[in-house]
Structure 1
Amino acid sequence: MTERLATWVWVGASALACVAGMVNVVGYLGFEHQAITHLTGTTSLLGAALARGDATAAWQLAAMIAAFVGGALLSGLLVQDSVLRLGRRYGVALAFEAALLAAAVTLFERGSFAGPLLAAVAIGLQNAMATTYSGAIVRTSHVSGMFTDLGITLGHALRGLPVARRRLWLCLVIIASFLAGGVAGALLFGVVQYRALYLPALLTGATGLTYAIYRHRQIAAGRIAP
């Protein structure tokens, strides 16, 4: 499959995966080594906390999961679709995310658990904005699925089966962007601590503004409905 992905999909997926990588590493390096986007690990830790009877840890882990789900719920209210389509209210959703990440900085600095909760809401909102685009899975907050798709595609190539090149390149772009975000977040955290989150907030806001401008131009040109 070689169908060309729209430029705005490539740019948006890359930018948001980078944002998620930065947010996740700042949460992990800072507040009690609490990953923000890694719900598989968070759920496993919740199970372990429940097994050993650690009520405090169990409450915090459950709250992180609930915050992420709450962000996804907010996305459902704002975007009202799980398929990427030009014209949806992604700019509004990204503005919410930028505000949540910026607000989380002060709370993180105070050692308040509300900091990672706000960050989890922001990333849950981001990840739920879209599930698919023209048959390709788009997940920007974690890369487990991307690595799985990458392995499947390479396996097909080794068997001589048709390769979904669009899917392959999308996986590589999201993985590379998430990794780059992790590197940038770790470096920034070593210098400015939690204020490193201002960069993903700025990047998210800029992505939302760029999308809003692009959407407006497409409406003005009559290519999409207002």
Structure 2
Amino acid sequence: MTSRRVATLHVWGVPARAVPAALLRMAADRRPLRDVPGLRFAKLLGTGSGRTFTVRDADPRRWALLAVWDDADAASAFAGSAVRRRWQRIADEEWTATLRPLASRGLWSKEEPFGRPWPQRWDGPVVAVTRARLVARKAVTFWRAVPPVSADLHASPGLRLALGIGEAPVGLQGTVSLWDSSAALNSFAYDRAPHAAVVTRTAQEGWYAEELFARLGLLSSTGTVGGRDPLG
């Protein structure tokens, strides 16, 4: 049976003067999120370029919230929540995407945040979410392997947006990428040599203590990232 779960991604841009307030919100809003009705899973995230997955990638002027909801009604109700209003007060832009889980494997903080979606055809734009917790002693070899894949990602046909995401400055990281179609995402994931090489090395090297790969269909989006609509 197809899950009713819906995911949302909020990406907030803040002016330089509001960076301290954003850091405060990252710490203070975790507990209030636990009390939001219909919320199954949520992560407040720092973002960055995702080009090296080290501290120097971080963008202190852009923050995100990835959330998974029981259903569309719960996701819609969050639009007027106190948590979102607090972020809007300090932000100078916001991009919000509503997403349908299409496929997911692996764990995030020992959970399956998107459940186990029933396979389904999707003809519109798609979002890919990857997240990993690195094995500490393997981190250096992982960081050395990342730049060619990241460069190829940003040059891939059909890519509309790519963000590095992280729960901590080092070791807990991933990517969110928006694609024109499943075909464009599949071409990057399976047909391009740099990514294929890293997938092979992942199994050989044992880089991750925990990993998640998910694909979500874009139901709707509003707002901007970096002053533009990613789908514009």
Q: What's the TM-score bracket when you normalise by the shorter of the two chains?
A: under 0.3
Q: Give TM-score, length-normalised by structure 2.
A: 0.25
The structure carrying a bigger strand percent of its residues is: 2
Structure number with higher relative contact order (C-alpha < 8 Å, ≥ 6 residues apart): 1
Higher-Rg structure is 1
Q: Give TM-score, length-normalised by structure 1.
A: 0.25
The structure carrying a bigger helix percent of its residues is: 1
